[in-house]
Amino acid sequence: MSAAAYDLILKNGTAVLPEGTHTADIAVKDGKIMAIGKIDGEATETIDCTGLHILPGVIDTQVHFREPGGTHKEDLEHGMKAAAMGGVTGIFEMPNTNPLTTTPEALQDKLGRASKGAWCDYAFYFGGTAQNAKNLSEWENLPGVCGVKIFMGSSTGDLLSATDDEVLAVLSNGKRVVAAHAEDEMMMIENKKNILGDSTDVAMHHIWRSKESCLSATTRLVTLARKAGRRVHVLHITSAEEMEYLAQNKDIASVEVLPNHLTLHAPDCYNKLGTLAQQNPPIREKEHQDALWRAIDDGTVDIIGSDHAAHTMEEKQGTYPSTPSGTPGVQTLVPIMLDHVNNGKLTLERFVDLVCEGPHRIHQIAGKGRITKGYDGDFTIVDMNKTETITHAQQQSKCGWTPYDGKTVKGWPVMTVVRGNIVMRDGELQGTPKGRPIAFRETL
């Protein structure tokens, strides 16, 4: 018997291609896309995708998988299982683990751990601080690094660059993407004392972690970026005022928003979910959510990431504000956003732009983010007509809960393909973990 020409052919799907969305067969060999169009050749496996949409593999550029240091609530294997189950083919993991990912040794440790149970491809952020800034030009280019992360305001973990000098030190060393958590530490310390005081009400979360604190950090960051001549990627924008400012500064700043901020709003989320809706920066009122949607519409937003940040139910059930901030999200990113597509909030093509093309463009990912010949055979195959209810029980995350428990959505990932390997089909993981570190183009 002659060897099949291809490893995998996806037949008759509606493919979201760079030139438009239309019916096409797609063939993969040795992990790469070899042909797109009407394909008659033989393959080891042929899958009929009639009635399904084939998207480029979704890349979640902001997850916290807690390993090492917090593996009682999440670890790399569970986090990547959750990714594969949710239609995500690649993840960028954050450095606020314990130890922090601020040295080459810590990076190597994470790469070694990830290789043991990788259900998707992966890369890690290097944590930037004033202490390691001088080494960043060299360390940011280590294999497996997707960029540098700074926290301007305290959140989970000890990574902090609160002052202008500290931020400038990081921005002045290196060329890769600097992704920033922009909340103003000094303002939040004052607000915690003067506004939150002794309150234990989680509905205060978005009031003391104020929109003014976010705007202050974002404007300081952009001013410092101009001084250093270095682009910045501003993570999880939550307020109308920041969006308005960033829309005027797109030449130096790219912008991320989260599904939670597009879906939940204050005060309802705090009334319904309590501390399960506590995250940083916080979920704000509907008028801010509306502004985020306008920014999706007008092109200000470049990327949607989940900011998957698992904490155990027990930790979340403590007394606010000692409860930790963050919600899991890597497994629900695709279903929640497909539901928004079905509700007419954005087109499927714009969704692909935000979770495939956007990550490719901003981070200069090599060979991922679009369905084109020679690129990796990564696909998120979705059934836009499938109605499902999201539950705690479905969640692969070690924390075992989701803020969307009980929510019925239309649009669901039915298959996840990583470099030609089917890792999830119809809600079941398939085969063995085959994930690898993601590669990047050399920055200019």
Q: Which of 90, 305, 326, 377 binds ligand DOR (CB under 6 A)?
A: 326
Per-residue x/- track, 169-208, ligand DOR (CB under 6 A): ------------x---------------------------
Site for ligand DOR in 61-120 (CB under 6 A): 64, 96
Is residue 268 annotated as part of the catalytic site, yes or no?
A: no
Name which of residues 373 to 392 contact ligand DOR (CB under 6 A).
Answer: none
Nearest one of 3, 138, 125 to 60, comparing CA atoms: 125
254 or 279, CB closer to ligand DOR?
279
Least distance to ligand DOR, CB of residue 309, Å = 3
Quick one: DSSP state of residue 290? H
Sign of CA dihedral 63, 26, 353, 174: positive
3-state secondary structure of 169: helix
CA-CA distances (angstroms) from residue 435 to 112, 202, 341, 359? 12, 38, 29, 18
Q: Is 279 in the site for ligand DOR (CB under 6 A)?
A: yes
Number of CB atoms found within 10 A of residue 123's CB: 24
**Smallest distance from the beta carbon of 66 to ligand DOR, in angstroms?**
8
Q: How far is the CB of 308 from ligand DOR (least distance, A)?
A: 9
Task: Indicate the residue among 323 and 380 with the shorter CB distance to ligand DOR.
Answer: 323
Closest by CA position to 274, among listed 328, 207, 209, 205: 205
Q: Judged by CB under 6 A, does residue 309 bind ligand DOR? A: yes
Residues 6+ positions from 123 with CB-CB distance below 8 Å: 90, 91, 92, 93, 144, 145, 146, 437, 438, 440
Fill in the per-residue mask, 142 to 171: x = in contact with ligand DOR (CB under 6 A), - = not in contact: -------------xx---------------
- Tell me which stretch binds ligand DOR (CB under 6 A): 18-26, 171-179, 257-265, 321-329: 321-329
Please tell me whether residue 325 binds ligand DOR under the rule CB under 6 A: yes
Which residues neighbour 237 within 8 Å (Cβ) at sequence distance 6 or greater? 214, 218, 243, 246, 255, 256, 257, 261, 292, 295, 301
Sign of torsion over alpha carbons 9, 12, 15, 17 = positive
Report, in Å, the least distance between residue 181 CB and ligand DOR.
5
Query: How many chain residues bind ligand DOR (CB under 6 A)?
Result: 11
> Which among 63, 56, 80 is positioned nearest to 156, based on CA atoms?
63
- Read off φ and ψ for residue 104, nearest 5 degrees: -60, -35
Q: Which is nearer to ligand DOR, 34 or 94 (CB)?
A: 94
Nearer to ligand DOR, 324 or 413 (CB): 324
Residue 281 DSSP code: S
How far is residue 326 CA from its own chain's centroid?
A: 13
**With CB under 6 A as the contact rule, which of the stretches 24-32, 320-328, 345-353, 418-426 interacts with ligand DOR?**
320-328
Residues that bind ligand DOR (CB under 6 A): 64, 96, 155-156, 181, 279-280, 309, 324-326
**Residues forming the active site:** 307
